[in-house]
């Protein structure tokens, strides 16, 4: 006769196996996350469906960025166009330029814009260490959950300072709850931005998720 005790005993190897697999998966994730953080790389396009922005939504970006009709703005690392489409739509006859190192992300953003009836987004395939525009070309720029992925952050911020007109703004957004291994604290971002000549104007949010607004 099979007893409850014998059933529980028979399930023990299964439970042990699950525990071993879970431990191995956690350890593997930790190794991959550590390697990814130590060697910054862009978020892969094939993982785009995991992009989440619980604390740095589009409405909050629009509040921090304050886009005005007729302006020229720049987004570094647009991803799948989550922010680019509403920002570009708010510019009227103005324009939004998006720059990324992945053509797949740029293509995705432009498709999303076309589907939304937005036609004032222009794309550039290049890393952020070189921004191929004249000095003082943009009224403002923004990077959302991107700065930690840039290998040469100092060069990128210096380029941003060069292409943003005096008095123009730079908005940096970071969200720890998106499980981004490249998350950067507000103090780290502020220190980098100041080293490139930006002045902190205000911050929206908390230490877990925030938008920092700087002036050139």
pLDDT digit string (tens) for 113-136? 999 999 999 999 999 999 999 999
CA distance 86 to 8: 56
pLDDT digits (tens, 9 = 90+) for 11-30: 554 444 444 443 333 333 33
Query: 48, 77 in Cβ contact below 8 A?
Result: no
Query: 54, 162 in Cβ contact below 8 A?
Result: no
Biggest distance spanned by C-alpha atoms of the chain = 85
CA distance 73 to 138: 6
pLDDT digits (tens, 9 = 90+) for 88-120: 999 999 999 999 999 999 999 999 999 999 999
| Structure tokens given for 56 | 């740095």
**Residue 164: closest CA among 89, 92, 87, 73:** 73
CA distance 170 to 161: 9
Give the lowest-confidence range in 42-46, 57-61, 145-149, 184-188. 42-46
CA distance 122 to 110: 8
CA distance 104 to 107: 5
Query: 40, 182 in Cβ contact below 8 A?
Result: yes
């Amino acid at each position: 006769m099979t007893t409850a005790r014998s059933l529980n005993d028979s399930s023990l190897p299964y439970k042990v196996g699950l525990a071993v697999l879970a431990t191995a998966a956690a350890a593997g994730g930790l190794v991959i996350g550590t390697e990814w953080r130590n060697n910054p790389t862009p978020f892969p396009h094939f993982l785009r469906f995991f992009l989440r922005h619980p604390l740095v939504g589009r409405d909050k970006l629009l509040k921090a960025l304050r886009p005005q009709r007729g302006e020229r703005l720049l987004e570094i690392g647009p991803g799948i166009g989550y922010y680019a489409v509403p920002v570009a739509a708010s510019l009227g006859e103005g324009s939004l330029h998006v720059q990324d190192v992945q053509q797949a992300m740029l293509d995705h953003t432009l498709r999303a814009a076309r589907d939304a009836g937005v036609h004032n987004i222009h794309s550039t395939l290049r890393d952020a260490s070189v921004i191929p525009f004249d000095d003082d070309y943009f009224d403002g720029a923004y990077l959302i959950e991107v700065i930690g992925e840039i290998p040469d952050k100092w060069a990128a911020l210096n380029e941003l300072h060069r292409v943003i007109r005096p008095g123009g703004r730079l908005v940096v957004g970071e969200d720890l709850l998106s499980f981004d291994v490249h998350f950067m604290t507000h103090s780290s971002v502020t220190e980098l931005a100041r080293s490139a000549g930006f002045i902190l104007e205000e911050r929206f949010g908390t230490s877990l998720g925030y938008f920092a607004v700087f002036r050139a």
